Amino acid sequence: MRICHTSADMRAACDELRRAGRTLGLVPTMGALHAGHMSLVAAATAACDAVAASIFVNPTQFGPKEDYAAYPRTFEEDRRKLEQAGVDLLFAPVAAEMYPPGNTTFVDPGEIGGRLDGASRPGHFRGVATIVTRLFNIVQPERAYFGQKDAAQVAVLRHVVRDLNLPVELVICPIVREPDGLAMSSRNRYLSSVERERALALSRALQAAAELVRSGEESAEAILHLLRTFLARVPDVRLDYVAVVDPDSLLPVTNVSTGALIAIAAWVGTTRLIDNLLLQRHQVP
Ligand code: PAF
């Protein structure tokens, strides 16, 4: 696996692969890799001739009071996992490489960037849209792989790709869960063992919502009521939001019969976790 630290080096390495006629898949990450990330890598290696991954803890998507400094950085371990998984190229720039002095241009996704996590984390999706667009321009992948766990990020990036006519196909991979249901997240490692137990409330609340929908309930209000009462009973879990929205626009829906995204964000102790359930049109979960 070749490791590139500069944009110029990475672009040259990607150009070389493309010139050799190889389709290129990109897996953008912030490192601290877990089985969820590795499922993106597996999907990319299965569908593309060559795979590039990036590890970059992107400062512009963190708010001033968020965990940018504390975010887990486990480069050696990550490098080993990517190499073993057959990744061809790893892009690992420093912050000054992605945001050199004097850079002033950002990608602002507009209103959608202020919904769900964008409402709780002002500027977050502007940071995500900016870094992902920069990575796309450097790597120029045919396909790029993201996890459904970040459902709002997926909606924002679909808009960015559409609005800016970016020549890349977004491939969205299902949420990977621990055996007990907890959605995999790099932030799970912040949880104490008691908090880890409490954190199960998110996936269990979603399972209860799925049951309710299976039993024939279509009203978003009824689903929201169930999620709120379920989560209110769990100590040390503080709700940030529960939402039943259209998965593309992230705007609230009143009825889920034509498909919906049921999303939760909650604080477990000092750790903010998210999880969601995607109801496809006419599909019972
Ligand atoms: O999902 C993530 O890990 C990040 O938001 C991403 C897409 C790598 C951009 O920094």
CA of 107 to the centre of ligand 1 (A): 15
Distance of CA 164 to the CA centre of its chain: 20
The token duo for 211 is 């049951």
Task: Say if residue 78 is in the same domain as residue 208.
Answer: no
Q: How many CB atoms lie within 10 A of CB 277?
A: 22
Q: Are 226 and 208 in contact (CB under 8 A)?
A: yes
Tell me what pLDDT residue 196 has.
98
CA of 219 to the centre of ligand 1 (A): 32
Task: Say if residue 201 is in the same domain as residue 87.
Answer: no
Q: For 13, what's the count of Cα atoms within 13 Å in the CB-facing half-sphere?
A: 19
Distance of CA 190 to the CA centre of its chain: 18
- Give the phi and the psi of residue 260 in degrees, each rounded to 5: -170, 160
CB of residue 29 inside a 6 A radius of ligand 1: yes
Q: Domain span at residue 35? A: 2-173
Task: Say if residue 43 is in the same domain as residue 131.
Answer: yes
Ligand 1 atom at minimum distance from 57 CA = 10
Task: Say if residue 256 is in the same domain as residue 122.
Answer: no
- Give the phi and the psi of residue 238 in degrees, each rounded to 5: -115, 120
Say yes or no to pLDDT of 283 above 60. no
Q: Please tell me the least confidently modeled range out of 17-31, 44-58, 230-244, 270-284.
A: 270-284
Neighbouring residues of 193: CB distance < 8 A, sequence distance ≥ 6: none
Q: Alpha helix locations (H) across the chain?
A: 7-19, 35-47, 75-84, 95-98, 117-120, 124-139, 151-163, 193-198, 200-214, 220-232
DSSP state, residue 256: -
CA of 70 to the centre of ligand 1 (A): 16
**Residue 165 belongs to a domain with what CATH number?**
3.40.50.620
Residue 142 lies in a domain: yes
Say yes or no to pLDDT of 285 above 60. no
Q: Which protein residue's CA is at the shortest distance from atom 2 of ligand 1?
A: 29
CB of residue 31 inside a 6 A radius of ligand 1: no
Q: Which protein residue's CA is at the shortest distance from atom 3 of ligand 1?
A: 29
Q: Tokens 């709700």 label which residue?
A: 239
Ligand 1 atom at minimum distance from 132 CA = 9
Q: The dihedral of CA 96, 101, 107, 112: what is its sign?
A: positive
Grade residue 280 by pLDDT with cuts at 50, 70 and 90: confident
Tell me what pLDDT residue 185 has.
98
Distance of CA 179 to the CA centre of its chain: 20
Tell me what pLDDT residue 76 has.
98
The whole-number average pLDDT for the span 76-96 is 98
Residue 81 lies in a domain: yes
Show which of 173, 196, 228 is a domain's final residue. Answer: 173
CA of 33 to the centre of ligand 1 (A): 12
Q: For 269, what's the count of Cα atoms within 13 Å in the CB-facing half-sphere?
A: 14
Task: Say if residue 11 is in the same domain as residue 144.
Answer: yes
Task: Say if residue 106 is in the same domain as residue 192.
Answer: no
The whole-number average pLDDT for the span 159-182 is 98
Q: Tell me the pLDDT of the chain averaged across its residues.
A: 97
CA of 260 to the centre of ligand 1 (A): 23
Residue 135 lies in a domain: yes
Query: Which of 176, 194, 193, 172 shows the shortest CA–CA distance to 185?
Result: 176
β-pairing, 237-245 vs 260-268, is antiparallel
The token duo for 278 is 């995607």
Q: Which protein residue's CA is at the shortest distance from atom 5 of ligand 1?
A: 128
**Residue 232 belongs to a domain with what CATH number?**
3.30.1300.10
Q: Tokens 């006629």 label which residue?
A: 21
Q: For 7, what's the count of Cα atoms within 13 Å in the CB-facing half-sphere?
A: 13
Residue 285 lies in a domain: no
- Give the phi and the psi of residue 9 in degrees, each rounded to 5: -65, -45
CB of residue 128 inside a 6 A radius of ligand 1: yes
Q: How many CB atoms lie within 10 A of CB 75?
A: 13
* Overall domain count for the chain: 2
Bridge partners, 52 (sequence order): 26, 89
Residue 179 lies in a domain: no
CB of residue 131 inside a 6 A radius of ligand 1: yes
CB of residue 30 inside a 6 A radius of ligand 1: yes
CA of 28 to the centre of ligand 1 (A): 6
Task: Say if residue 139 is in the same domain as residue 207.
Answer: no
Q: How far apart are CA 105 and CA 62, in angstroms?
A: 17
Show which of 173, 194, 209 is a domain's final residue. Answer: 173
Q: Tokens 């569908």 label which residue?
A: 47
Residue 113 lies in a domain: yes
Ligand 1 atom at minimum distance from 186 CA = 3
Q: Are 36 and 172 in contact (CB under 8 A)?
A: no
Task: Say if residue 167 is in the same domain as residue 197.
Answer: no
The whole-number average pLDDT for the span 153-161 is 98
Residue 27 lies in a domain: yes
Q: Which protein residue's CA is at the shortest distance from atom 1 of ligand 1?
A: 29
Tell me what pLDDT residue 37 has.
98
Tell me what pLDDT residue 128 has.
99
Question: Which residues are part of the catalytic machinery?
Answer: 37
Task: Say if residue 201 is in the same domain as residue 117.
Answer: no
Residue to substitute in 39, 40, 116, 150 for testing ligand 1 pocket (most ligand atoms within 8 angstroms of CB): 150
